[in-house]
A and B are shown apart, each in its own frame.
Chain A
Amino acid sequence: MLNASEILQTLRMIDQNKLDVRTITMGISLLECVPGPVEGLYDRVYDRIVRQAEQLVPTGEQIEREFGIPIVNKRISVTPAALLCAGADPVRLGRALDRAAKAVGVNFLGGFSALVHKAMTRADEALIRAIPETLATTDVVCSSVNVGTTKAGINMDAVRLMGEVIKEAAARTADQDGFACAKLVVFANAVEDNPFMAGAFHGVGEGDAAINVGVSGPGVVKAALEECRGEPFDVVAETIKRTAFKITRVGQLVAQEASRRLGVPFGIVDLSLAPTPTMGDSVAHILEEMGLEVTGTHGTTAALALLNDAVKKGGVMASSHVGGLSGAFIPVSEDIGMIQAANRGTLTLDKLEAMTCVCSVGLDMIAIPGDTPAETISAIIADEAAIGMINQKTTAVRIIPAPGKTVGDSVVFGGLLGEAPIIPVHRESSRDFIARGGRIPAPIHSLRN
């Protein structure tokens, strides 16, 4: 029957430690919209999304009321739009996606995407070149481009192009500190069932629709670790696992309820620790709780490796299907502890790159000087994609070259996207490296040292 301490513990996690379900994301396949005249594509896409997701937001809100757990975001991911784009206008398609998302009341829609890890079709390239205009003229559409995989290698032509696209996206939204770039992710080994933005899309291996749920709860993990100060890492890992289990069970429950009520198959629970810019919801503060004075100092990579692994181990048993990105996110602007560490200069781009070797994604929400050349951004993408390719993990770059700003300034996006100090990049050129183009071959899968 009633166990008062367990009930009060749950309430404490929700009220004081900001436990929440970060997102219910409905994946929707748009492939059925392709047959028919190109002119009607935009309406077919709009109708398909609105019909499928009509009840998503009210259902999410009712689940929130019944279980007493905040569900922060309700979102949609769709088939990578480049697959629909042959002969069509990508910008018009992006605007149709934007209208549909607003009609059903979700706060982001992901999938203005292209998968070009080996080569680009004409439609892929047209969509990629349309990303800056689309992101600058829509509000809730998010875009992602996969430029490399472990099996295919890295498409360096696409990497070069993405450097230019990011610069143009920033320039088109210069009055908002390059905000369009916050809605654009460049991936290696992108996953098909990620519920988190800006990188969510509904992969071609998915069904007509799916419910994917992303849990969160850095504050809960931090609070649990406060109880074991000075204990060895064995205790730290066990504590994180136990906490991650509880967090994930909430996600599983919400996912099953949403799936049942909406009549849409349950896809996965994504076990990621996703921070927000509010106090008490920081991944960096978990690392500091482990004994680091400031995130970014020596020991940070080891601390993050332990955290990332323990979160997965604890969460895997709590859910019937785990997927997405699953791990710890380190978005600089969205994490109050990361912002503080970057402001102190302890958290540098090079350290962040090292951290991406052991965390769930990559260089995320990092503001860099506005005059950073496109080829330097491409080179940053290439480095990150190489880490993903060799280590068989997802990596990503979501970087904002803030127009007119330089080191010492900061950018402010507000809300969940937060604010970030401009972090310096190396000034030495990578131009000739990026100018080569072509492909970096897929790596060998034995002799792994």
Chain B
Amino acid sequence: MKAVITVLGKDRTGIIASVSNLLYQHGVNILDITQTILSDMFTMIMLVEIGQDSEYNVVRDALLTLAGEMNLEIRVQRSDIFDAMHRI
């Protein structure tokens, strides 16, 4: 399934590296990535492909753990919700 990962937090080194390394370890393919700094806040949005639907909870839990460790806000959501809300 396709999912959108949103990462928000105070800018620091290693955010992209940590998130993408975790995704690599779980075999998650990054399809698109956009990143910016908005008033000192690191904002990254990734579109990823999670191979097996059953892997979703594992990947999500791992990302939420990472968020706690790095003091970031990380959200994982199936991309369908954005398509539904913003596309006719």
Contact = CB atoms under 8 A, between A and B. Distances in A.
A4 B60 CA distance: 20
A331 to B, nearest CB: 27
B75 A2 contact: no
Contact of A69 (B4, B81, B86): B81
23 contacts: A2-B33, A2-B34, A3-B86, A4-B36, A4-B43, A6-B85, A6-B86, A9-B86, A10-B82, A10-B86, A11-B6, A65-B56, A66-B56, A66-B78, A67-B77, A68-B77, A68-B81, A69-B77, A246-B85, A249-B84, A249-B85, A250-B84, A250-B85
Interface of A: 1-4, 6-11, 62, 65-69, 246, 249-250, 252-253
B64 to A, nearest CB: 10
Contact of A1 (B36, B47, B60): B47
Contact of A4 (B1, B34, B57): B34
Contacts of B1: 66
B56 A7 contact: no
Interface of B: 1, 4, 6, 31-34, 36, 43, 45, 47, 56-57, 60, 75-78, 80-82, 84-86
A10 B57 contact: no
A68 B47 CA distance: 15
Contacts of B36: 4
Nearest to A252: B84
Contacts of A10: 81-82, 85-86
B67 to A, nearest CB: 13
Nearest to A317: B88
B75 A68 contact: yes
Q: Which 4 A-B residue pairings sit nearest by Cβ, starting from the closest?
A: A68-B77, A249-B84, A253-B84, A6-B86
Contacts of A65: 56-57, 60
Please classify the interface of chain B as helix (H, G, I), strand (E, B), loop, or mixed, using the class held by over half of its residues: strand
Contacts of B43: 4, 8
Given A10-B85, A65-B60, A246-B86, A2 B6 contact: no
A2 B56 CA distance: 20
A62 B45 CA distance: 22
A68 B1 CA distance: 14
A10 B1 CA distance: 19
Contact of A253 (B4, B34, B76, B80): B80
B4 A7 contact: yes
Given A4-B36, A7-B4, A9-B86, 18 more contacts: A1-B32, A1-B47, A2-B32, A2-B34, A2-B45, A4-B43, A7-B45, A7-B82, A65-B56, A65-B60, A66-B56, A66-B78, A67-B81, A68-B77, A68-B78, A69-B77, A252-B84, A253-B81
A3 B31 CA distance: 13
Contacts of A11: 6, 75
Contact of B81 (A3, A8, A62, A250): A250
Contacts of A67: 77-78, 80-81
A69 B76 CA distance: 11
A271 B56 CA distance: 30
Contacts of A4: 34, 36, 43, 45
A1 B2 CA distance: 11
A6 B82 CA distance: 7
B56 to A, nearest CB: 6
Find the residue from B4, B33, B43, B78 having the highest chain A CB count within 10 A: B78
B62 to A, nearest CB: 13
A10 B75 CA distance: 12
Give the residue among A11, A66, A250, A252 with the most B Cβ atoms within 10 A.
Answer: A66
B85 to A, nearest CB: 5
B49 to A, nearest CB: 12
The CB with the most chain B CB atoms within 10 A, among A7, A10, A67, A249, is that of A7
